[in-house]
Amino acid sequence: MNLEDFKKRMVQSRWDPKTLEIAIRARFICEYCGCEFYSSVNYYESIQIDHIIPKKYGGNDTSNNLALVCRTCNFIKRNWNPGKNQTKRLTRKELLEITRTYLTSKRKEKEERMLYEANLVRKILNISIEDK
């Protein structure tokens, strides 16, 4: 099968042609965290397109400003602008790297908060079980 046949089949399956082009460029991997979209249903169902530079800050809809991302990365990033406070125009690769660094930090913060809350949940569940 050649690339054009592959694209036709994917579009027939469910893919928007523009999204498919972005996904092929990204190798069907989240461009921020690296999750592989075909490794689980959860990842597969989380595929989204993100504006690297948000439209709110002058980003556009060109493929150079669009990234294939998972829902979690897109949710954490929201309207954060990797180009903010930059003195020179950055390449797509540089913007992606800045975004990855930012998201790694934010994910770590969320994981720490999640672990703290998980401990609280375990404690309250043990208390409620003992109360019965």
> What DSSP string describes the chain?
--HHHHHHHHHHHT--HHHHHHHHHHTTB-TTT--BTTS-HHHHTTEEEEESS-GGGT--SSGGGEEEEEHHHHHHHTT--TTTT-SSPPPHHHHHHHHHHHHHHHHHHHHHHHHHHHHHHHHHHHHHHHH-
How much is the pLDDT for 86?
83
pLDDT at 34 over 80: yes
> For 75-128, how does the pLDDT look when each residue is reduced to its tens digit (9 = 90+)?
999 999 999 988 888 999 999 999 999 999 999 999 999 999 999 999 998 876
What is the rounded distance in angstroms from the CA atom of residue 77 to the CA atom of residue 94? 16
Whether this model's pTM surpasses 0.85: yes
The encoded tokens of residue 129 equal 């079980």
Mean pLDDT score, 11-22:
94
pLDDT band, very low/low/confident/very high, at 130 (cuts 50, 70, 90)? low
How much is the pLDDT for 61?
96
pLDDT band, very low/low/confident/very high, at 132 (cuts 50, 70, 90)? low
